[in-house]
Amino acid sequence: MKKPKYDSLRVGIVCSRFNEFVVNALLDGAQRGLKARGVREKNIETHWVPGAFEIPVMARLMAVSQKFDALVALGAVIRGETAHFEYVAGPCAEGIMQVQLETLIPIGFGVLTVENVEQAAARSRPDDTNKGFEAAQVALDMIAAMRRWG
């Protein structure tokens, strides 16, 4: 099977500012994951939103813009003492999935849903276990898989 050419792909990244200390590490991982496959830095565009709840809206705007072959969604929802976690985590994931289904633009899901800061730190280390790195790789894998079908 012919290996996809990633150097011409355009990838958009949407990041949540809430828990930015974690999201910055996820963003570093995502950029590293894209560049490791040959995506050019000039073809990676990052947009920030206030929180994870807003990610699906920006992802949809980016997807319908026809500027991107794939997107990567990055955020960190950390459980607290209130029900806020449930009101944000589920709808964020569902919204991102809906954008993919409506637009057929793959979105690598790098929104952490964790119990505490320690779990967030463990998933945003500066290595290949970084969930931003993994989400970027998934987005590229989905481009290749979808192109085989159409």
Distances (CA, A) of 77 to 16, 73, 85, 142, 143: 10, 13, 7, 25, 27
Q: Under a CB-based contact definition with an 8 Å cutoff, are residues 33 and 126 in contact?
A: no
Q: Cβ contacts of residue 143 below 8 Å, gap of 6+?
A: 4, 9, 69, 70, 106
- Catalogue the active-site residues: 84
11 Cβ partners below 8 Å, 6+ apart?
A: 34, 39, 43, 44, 45, 68, 69, 70, 71, 72, 136, 139, 140
